[in-house]
Amino acid sequence: MRFSSRSKLLATALVLLFALPFGLLVLLAVAPAWRFPAALPPTYSLGALRDLLAADSELLAGLGRSLLLASVVAVVATASGFWLARAVSRAARPARWEALSYLPYALPPVLLAVLIQPFIIRLHLSGSVGGVLLGLLLIAVPFATLLLRSFWTPQAREYEQLARTLGCTPQQALGRVLLPLAGPLLRTALFQTFLLSWFDFGLTNLLSVGKVRTLTVQVFTYVGEANAPLAAVASLLLLLPPALLLWANKNALLRKTE
């Protein structure tokens, strides 16, 4: 009985701790004028949400921009990571290439952006989507490579060679053997690299010099303007794709933990 009640107490505490942010953000999104000392909004309005659906909505544009950027980063990083991981496994000194892959994580993203910014400028990519993309790939590609490195075991290579021996072309071996085997890891790599890009603010903010207004940049802008409703709406939009991705991968996650 005591154990059960403690378990319920812990569950309740964590649920409240994790649910409160979402609740407060929702209230902020529909509260046009909510000031001290009101504990609940005096009035409710869908104005901020209505603005979201306007034809010229900057928020929708930011959402689209962020989705496009994160999707491109995820696909390019995962595809590159798959082949790079294979190349690393075949290299003379795999351990050194793995150590090299950790270099971008030795430095904060903002500091990385500071260091590479002169070259972004010289490549005429400053303030462009291309510059932000290059910066994000600098973080995402090593991540995918390290993650997919665990797939390229001697066993995987034996499967590939077996398929080739039995008459498969390289394309068939890839499409029918390797990709299905690597499926779960590829999905995880897509998921994680998408989130890396989706959540980024510091690197994007620095390299875009205010011109590539992703959703995170817009959250910061609205916070700076003390526009809490729009900041809350942008924040909730920011939470939507990760929530969908988590839900879509729920079974995979639960299987791992169980």
Scan residues 210-249 and list those touching another protein (CB under 8 A): 216, 219-220, 223, 228, 231-232, 235, 238-239, 242-243, 246
- Applying CB under 8 A, among 69, 116, 186, 212 the residue interacting with another protein is 116
Closest CA to 235 of 252, 214, 216: 216
Interacting residue with another protein among 25, 163, 186, 230 (CB under 8 A): 25
Q: Tokens 């002169």: give the residue.
A: 118
According to the binding rule CB under 8 A, does residue 179 interact with another protein?
no
The pair of three-digit structure tokens given for residue 2, joined into one six-digit string: 């005591």
The site for another protein, by CB under 8 A, has a size of 72
Nearest alpha carbon to residue 45 among 253, 228, 254: 228
Q: Is 152 in the site for another protein (CB under 8 A)?
A: no
CB distance 213 to 132 below 8 Å: no
- Helix 58-90 / helix 94-101 crossing angle, nearest 10 deg: 160
Near another protein by CB under 8 A: residue from 70, 77, 112, 182:
112
Give the residue, chosen from 97, 151, 191, 194, that forms a contact with another protein under the rule CB under 8 A: 97
Instruction: Give me the least distance between CB of 55 and another protein, in Å please.
Output: 26
Q: 102: which 2 tokens?
A: 């950790």
- Check binding of 159 to another protein (CB under 8 A): no
Residues 71 and 194: their CA atoms lie apart, in Å, by 6
Alpha carbons 33 and 83: distance in angstroms, whole number: 53
* Segment interacting with another protein (CB under 8 A) among 48-56, 68-76, 109-117, 151-159: 109-117
DSSP 109: H
By CB under 8 A, residue 3 contacts another protein? yes
Q: Which residues between 117 and 146 bind another protein (CB under 8 A)?
A: 117-119, 137-138, 141-142, 145
Nearest C-alpha neighbor of 239 from the set 221, 218, 215, 204: 215
Indicate whether 67 belongs to the interface with another protein (CB under 8 A). no
Of residues 18 and 55, the one with the C-beta less far from another protein? 18
In angstroms, the CA 39 to CA 175 distance is: 58
Give yes or no for residue 192 binding another protein (CB under 8 A): no
| Length of the chain, in residues | 258
Instruction: Tell me if 180 contacts another protein by CB under 8 A.
Output: no
Q: Which is nearer to another protein, 35 or 55 (CB)?
A: 35
- Residue 252 touches another protein, criterion: CB under 8 A: no
Report the alpha-carbon angle 75-70-226, nearest 5. 175
By CB under 8 A, name the one of 26, 38, 53, 75 that touches another protein.
38
